[in-house]
């Protein structure tokens, strides 16, 4: 008999020490940007990786105060590259300008793209949060190993939150930079068609199977037992699928009705995020053949199979 998934417990007790260079593990320093919000928690975590020379990972918003903090953390060392976990603007807005200012290349998985084509009458709800025009100087491939400042960095494609998301492992250590794929303060937003719930769940299985156990996310604090936490996240998503299906079976035939059934106490500030999450779950259940969705100019009509 399979052991039950561990309980999912979010940790919102995190002091970001915004603008300060905070050592995480040998060869890894965190600098949190001043862009706290309901979606970014205490702000985007940028990372400096390496010893005598370094790479800057996820330089974050285009903010002069944050740039100055990154330069203090680099402390005169040679910057070999800027690396992006993905191209949502809270991670990447400053990337091209800083790459030009520092005369360094920009490395990531590839241009921002949708996880699937837009359907008729559909729009991407996070269209303006994506860096569509950003082009990598080097495209990073799954399983590739980089060496920066004496630190090995393994590249792991983890689509789901968006199509070009990467997790980055520090070779020979238990540490995985999990980006927005696994975060300890909240579950990850999956907004279709920018992201994909099917891809997200598959990528959870992928990181669980890796050799890394200590996750360091791009928002919030580190996760000591990353593997069990990722298992709990997957169980949480599976349970949400069941809740959404049960709501449709009980007669909730629109996305709004499902949101109200699944999140009865949701506040106005988070209702849009809840709707995006429910839409991703509905699409996943549709792919499994458990829900039929009839789409039109005035919204979607849902029916359980």
Contacts of 199 by beta carbon, 8 Å cutoff, 6+ apart = 115, 159, 160, 163
pLDDT score of 2: 56
Model confidence, pTM: 0.95
- The string of pLDDT tens digits covering residues 239-269 is 999 999 999 999 999 999 999 999 998 888 7
DSSP tag of 130: B
Question: CA 281, CA 4: separation in Å to the nearest integer?
Answer: 22
Domains along the chain? 22-237 (3.60.15.10), 239-304 (1.10.10.10)
pLDDT score of 143: 97
> At CA 219, angle to CA 201 and CA 81, rounded to 5?
95
- The string of pLDDT tens digits covering residues 76-115 is 999 999 999 999 999 999 999 999 999 999 999 999 999 9
Question: CA 269, CA 116: separation in Å to the nearest integer?
Answer: 27
pLDDT above 70: percentage of residues in the chain = 99
Q: pLDDT 10s per residue in the chain (305 long)? A: 456 778 899 999 999 999 999 999 999 999 999 999 999 999 999 999 999 999 999 999 999 999 999 999 999 999 999 999 999 999 999 999 999 999 999 999 999 999 999 998 899 999 999 999 999 999 999 999 999 999 999 999 999 999 999 999 999 999 999 999 999 999 999 999 999 999 999 999 999 999 999 999 999 999 999 999 999 999 999 999 999 999 999 999 999 999 999 999 888 878 999 999 999 999 999 999 999 999 988 889 999 98
Q: Nearest CA to 77 among 105, 91, 58, 56? A: 56
């Amino acid at each position: 008999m399979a052991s039950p998934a561990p309980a999912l417990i979010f940790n919102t007790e995190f002091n970001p020490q915004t603008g300060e260079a905070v050592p995480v593990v040998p060869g890894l320093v965190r600098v949190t940007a001043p862009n706290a919000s309901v979606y970014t928690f205490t702000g985007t975590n940028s990372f400096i990786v390496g010893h005598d020379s370094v790479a800057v990972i996820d330089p974050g918003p285009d903010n002069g105060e944050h740039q100055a903090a990154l330069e203090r953390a680099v402390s005169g060392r040679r910057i070999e590259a800027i690396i992006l976990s993905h191209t949502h603007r809270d991670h990447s807005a400053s990337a091209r300008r800083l790459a030009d200012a520092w005369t360094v290349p920009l490395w990531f998985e590839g241009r921002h793209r949708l996880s699937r084509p837009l359907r008729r009458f559909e729009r991407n709800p996070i269209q303006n949060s994506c860096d569509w025009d950003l082009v990598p100087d080097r495209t990073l491939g799954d399983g590739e190993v980089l060496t920066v400042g004496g630190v090995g960095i393994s590249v792991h494609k983890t689509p789901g939150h968006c199509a070009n998301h990467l997790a980055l492992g520090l070779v020979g250590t238990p540490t995985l930079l999990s980006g927005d794929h696994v975060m300890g303060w909240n579950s990850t937003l999956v907004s279709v068609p920018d992201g994909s719930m099917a891809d997200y769940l598959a990528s959870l299985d992928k990181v669980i199977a890796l050799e890394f156990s200590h996750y360091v996310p791009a928002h919030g604090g580190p996760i000591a037992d990353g593997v069990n936490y990722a298992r709990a996240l997957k169980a949480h998503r599976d349970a949400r699928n069941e809740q959404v299906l049960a709501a449709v079976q009980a007669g909730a035939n629109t996305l709004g009705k499902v949101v109200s059934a699944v999140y009865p106490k949701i506040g106005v500030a988070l209702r849009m995020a809840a709707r995006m999450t429910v839409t991703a779950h509905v699409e996943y259940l549709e792919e499994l053949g458990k829900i039929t969705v009839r789409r039109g100019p005035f919204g979607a009509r849902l029916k359980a199979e």
